[in-house]
Amino acid sequence: MSELFYNAAPNGKPNATRVAPPLPKPRQYPAKPAQVYLFGTCVVDLFFPEAGMDAIRLLEREGIRVHFPQDQSCCGQPAYTTGYTEEARKVARAQLALFKADWPVVVPSGSCAGMMRHHYLDLFKDDPECLRQAELLAERTFELTEFLLHVCEVQLHDQGPQAKIALHTSCSARREMNTHLHARQLLGQLAKVERVEHDHESECCGFGGTFSVRMPDIAGAMVADKTRSLQDSGAAQMVTADAGCLLNINGALDKQQARFSGQHLASFLWQRTGGSR
């Protein structure tokens, strides 16, 4: 079955494109490496730096040395999904040059990981040199929870009190990286954490990068549905592995003076397993 996606074109009008939802590709997971790169994402860097640091701490606790190239910036997704293809190539090309060693690239965001693993291949399809770099990068790009679960084969030991949480997964992470399955399995290792279902988990929070700027009324209605569902779920906290969604949902919850807010999954896992800052 196909799905209808709306992308804002450069003229500001939505383009409806019917495409088949991408299917997760089978992966051959490597043995746990001694070193990795972290692609921190621009939203983590600017708004949730503690989540980036907690992602590093989780990896270092597994005995992995983490490298953070200082020149990294955006993955190029906002420009790409808005129709500014050449601008997206310029941003993405700069990222391709940063990860020269043959180490995995771990990303604490399913949407940014999806951009690098899947959409860079489309972005550079007419540029053989960059396409080859993109193909090599795609094969060693992992979303954080995927990497912890399938490469590190982490075993989490819950050291926190009883907690009832709701999980939010970004729409692109869910459909491109299967992140919701990885996050669920990691949360399932926490003995005192109950993950409650909410009826809008699979729906977009309304952020969508530039979508929320170009179509604020629609985006506002979507996040209102999302936050209503979260508050009706009975959860005491929301966790998500995508900082863009976290920024949007927390902003709405704060405006509504809600009884709880959200936290990046990296920070939640670190704190629940005895980590301290």
Q: What is the pLDDT of residues 217-238, one digit of tens each?
A: 988 999 999 999 999 999 999 9
**Does 26 reside within a domain?**
no
Chain segment 59-108, per-residue pLDDT in tens? 999 999 999 999 999 999 999 988 999 999 999 999 999 999 999 999 99
The parent domain of residue 258 ranges over: 156-272
> 94 and 139, same structural domain?
yes
Q: 130 and 12: one domain?
A: yes
Is residue 206 packed enough to be buried (19+ CB in 10 Å), middle (13-18) or exposed (0-12)?
A: buried
Any idea which residue has 């995995």 for tokens? Answer: 104
CA neighbours closer than 13 Å in the CB half-sphere of residue 191: 7
Length of the chain: 277
Domain count, the chain: 2
Beta partners for residue 164, in sequence order = 194
Q: What pLDDT, on the 0 to 100 scale, is given for residue 214?
A: 81
Taking 50 as the pLDDT cut, the residues of the chain under it are: 1-25
The pLDDT assigned to 277 comes to 59
Last residue of a domain, one of 109, 135, 150: 150
Is 123 contained in some domain? yes
**Final residue of a domain: which of 91, 123, 150?**
150
Is 226 contained in some domain?
yes
Q: What is the CATH number of the domain that holds 87?
A: 1.20.1050
Cα angle, residue 262 at apex, residues 143 and 265 outer, rounded to 5°: 25
Quote the pTM value.
Answer: 0.87
Same-domain status, 71 and 117? yes
Whether residue 120 sits in one domain with residue 14: yes
Asked if residue 25 belongs to a domain, the reply is no
Whether residue 277 is contained in a domain is answered as no
- The CA-atom distances, in angstroms, between 82 and each of 13, 88, 124, 212 are 10, 9, 17, 12
